[in-house]
Amino acid sequence: MSLPEVNRGGAAVTEAEERPLVTAIVVARNQESQVRECVAGLMEQTIAQSMEVIVVDQGSDQSETAIVTDLQRRFGNIVSLRIPYRAGAYAGVNLAVKIASGRFITLLNVADRMRSEAYELLSATLGQHPEAMLAFGNTCLTAIPHQSFAQHVSAGSRSWQGKDPVALLRAGEVPNHAMWRRELHYTIGCIGEGDGAMGAFLQKCAERFSVVHLPEFTGLTMVAQGGEAATKAAPLTPPMASQPVSMSPQMASQATSTPAPQQASAPQPMANQPFAVSQPMVAPVAESADEAFARLQPVVNGEDREQAKRALQAHIATYPGHATAHNDLAALHYLTGNKEAALLHYRRAVELSPRDTTFRKNLADMLFVEEGQTDEAIGIYLELLKDDPRDVETLLNLGIISQVVGQPNEAETFYQRALEIEPWNQTVRERLTELRAEQENAPEAADDDDDEPAEDRYENVQHMVAEGKLDEATRELEKILVVYPNFAPAHNDLAVLCYERGDKEEALAHYERAAALVPANATFQKNLADFYFVEGRNVDGAIAIYLDQLQKEPKNVDTLMSLGKICTLLDRPQEAETFYGKVTQLEPWNQAARECLSNLKRCANA
């Protein structure tokens, strides 16, 4: 039996280097005319620098491997994997999953083409929904090979809009170009072989975890005129004959009219019947949103702000999905005093490009400075800080907010971290000096407990707990939250005390509030996950939190032990053994992990 051949190309990736965000697996057999076009297109994804592409050659008689080797000379993030054809349609996919480095995994046929922002949108969707294991969008269809997503002759579309994605997945429907977390394979295993294997895999996912439908078109799939799949080299997408195309009333009405040049954000069918391509109509090459926006710059940057706003509004009417235009229009609305419209367009820019740091900062600034929505602003800044812990601007803004809302200790912490990164930053230094002067000149605290800082009152609570005065501690924590409703440690500790006295609903509310206020706090997240699992409230949510924490801290023994216990109770002994085994590798002296492994082996032998 011949072994699979793996060629990573370029220099070897060290463990110290950053892992890619997305691994895209491309499967090909005897389709050399499509390989270069498909892989080169993936290199144009907006997050291509954070991607890994694994091309699986299923024993092809053509030159796919040579083409991929040539592409590897230009791009350092392409992996070539060749397996024997008799190994099975999904054997190569499963092997690619095992060697994949990405946090998220997606699969596509070599004849498919993706929207340039597709993987950014799908990965951001999973990032925004930590409870979900899988995300997918809608799909455009074409019967003509070598078309691109942006410019293609439409043969209809496959939309999941308005449908229950979980119900459809459980019924065997298979969305094109889905993206899932790598950890999904830890719990439901590999993709099987034979017809319906991918559907069975996704059914297991929908039965155990949450899934998210992204209401945007993310990719283009080939179909034949009769509706059959255009290529049968690798059964990665279901036969389209049994999958009726869903068309909204708006699409149906537009299908009979003269089609406008197709835009990536709103692909339109070009006939009354799905797959009707008897009279293909090739759309003229349309000006891209960026090209049109570049032409507007003299007007946008001119002195006449009203004229600039009108120009941007007309641009957005033509290109409603252009995030940069929404951001710039928001800025103009703010400068001309229309703060409501400014906030609306700042939000839209972030919705369209959720990972763009500038757009998110602009929205957070607007929320804090003009709307007084401190909680939402802090949430955005903390997410930005999680993405880039050395972002001095974000640290400064968090310091300012903490100072304004009366949390000087937190403010000083943020300012100090900023100065550690940029000791020369005069703005931060001035803010820190001002903060310390305020604290020195502050009048003595009055007898009223409301004037006492939350941190001092919280420290008193710790003494009460240590002395066994739990009822007094509970009352004091409740008082703290009346004055400081967003003080996360008080929510967390009050949840513990509520749970101990049997008030589980109140405990859950405080656990969830603490985790929401400080998403980066591992203790708050683990406490919530423990509650979800022990009480059987949300096992999937517990697993998602644990896996997210494990992604951040792969060597966290507590998290590994928790996952081992969950897998044991869910009758998944092999997965439990894996987690306990990792603990014993990290801590050979860990007696609890060794006992758990021994119990698993005794059960297996019995």
- pLDDT value at residue 606: 66
Contact in structure between 134 and 209 (CB atoms under 8 Å): yes
CATH classification at residue 311:
1.25.40.10
- pLDDT value at residue 18: 64
The pLDDT tens digits of the residues spanning 329-374 come to: 988 888 888 888 889 999 999 999 998 888 998 898 888 887 678 8
Residue 458, by phi and psi: left (phi above 0), alpha (psi -120 to 50) or beta? Answer: alpha
Residue 148 lies in a domain: yes
Of the pLDDT bands very low, low, confident and very high (cuts 50, 70, 90), residue 241 is very low
Give the domain range for residue 153: 5-242
Residue 217 lies in a domain: yes
Q: Which residue has the higher pLDDT, 107 or 247?
A: 107
- Given a cut of 50, is residue 266 above it in pLDDT? no
- pLDDT value at residue 48: 92
Residue ranges of the alpha helices (H) in 271-407?
289-300, 305-318, 323-335, 339-352, 357-366, 374-387, 392-404
- pLDDT value at residue 10: 46
Residue 261 lies in a domain: no
* Encoded tokens for 349: 């820019």
Look at residues 396, 419, 441 and tell me which one is the last residue of a structural domain.
441
Which amino acid makes up residue 55?
V
Q: Are residues 209 and 70 in the same domain?
A: yes
The pLDDT tens digits of the residues spanning 46-59 come to: 999 999 999 988 88
d(CA 568, CA 118): 37
- Given a cut of 50, is residue 263 above it in pLDDT? no
Q: Are residues 222 and 307 in the same domain?
A: no
d(CA 60, CA 140): 28
- Given a cut of 90, is residue 118 above it in pLDDT? yes
The DSSP symbol for 105 reads E
- Given a cut of 80, is residue 385 above it in pLDDT? yes
The pLDDT tens digits of the residues spanning 170-186 come to: 777 888 899 999 888 87
- Given a cut of 70, is residue 224 above it in pLDDT? no
Q: Are residues 83 and 202 in the same domain?
A: yes
Look at residues 416, 441, 466 and tell me which one is the last residue of a structural domain.
441
Q: Are residues 38 and 145 in the same domain?
A: yes
- Given a cut of 80, is residue 146 above it in pLDDT? yes
Q: Sort strands 51-58 and 22-28 into parallel, antiparallel or unpaired.
A: parallel
Please report where in the chains the tokens 């800025």 appear, as a residue.
331
- Given a cut of 80, is residue 464 above it in pLDDT? yes
For the chain, the domain total comes to 2
d(CA 606, CA 594): 18
- Given a cut of 80, is residue 195 above it in pLDDT? no
Contact in structure between 28 and 58 (CB atoms under 8 Å): yes
Q: Are residues 231 and 304 in the same domain?
A: no
d(CA 339, CA 335): 8
Please report where in the chains the tokens 């990719």 appear, as a residue.
219
Q: Which residue has the higher pLDDT, 541 or 248?
A: 541
Residue 185 lies in a domain: yes
Least confident interval from 74-83, 282-291, 331-340, 562-571: 282-291
- pLDDT value at residue 486: 83
Contact in structure between 65 and 42 (CB atoms under 8 Å): no
- Given a cut of 60, is residue 453 above it in pLDDT? yes
Give the number of other CB atoms < 10 A from CB of residue 171: 11
Q: Which residue has the higher pLDDT, 246 or 287?
A: 287
Q: Calculate the average pLDDT of the chain.
A: 79
- pLDDT value at residue 472: 87
- pLDDT value at residue 443: 53
Residue 584 lies in a domain: no
Q: What are phi and psi of 511, to 5 degrees?
A: -60, -45
* Encoded tokens for 25: 């697996």
The pLDDT tens digits of the residues spanning 515-559 come to: 888 887 878 888 898 888 888 878 888 888 888 888 878 888 888
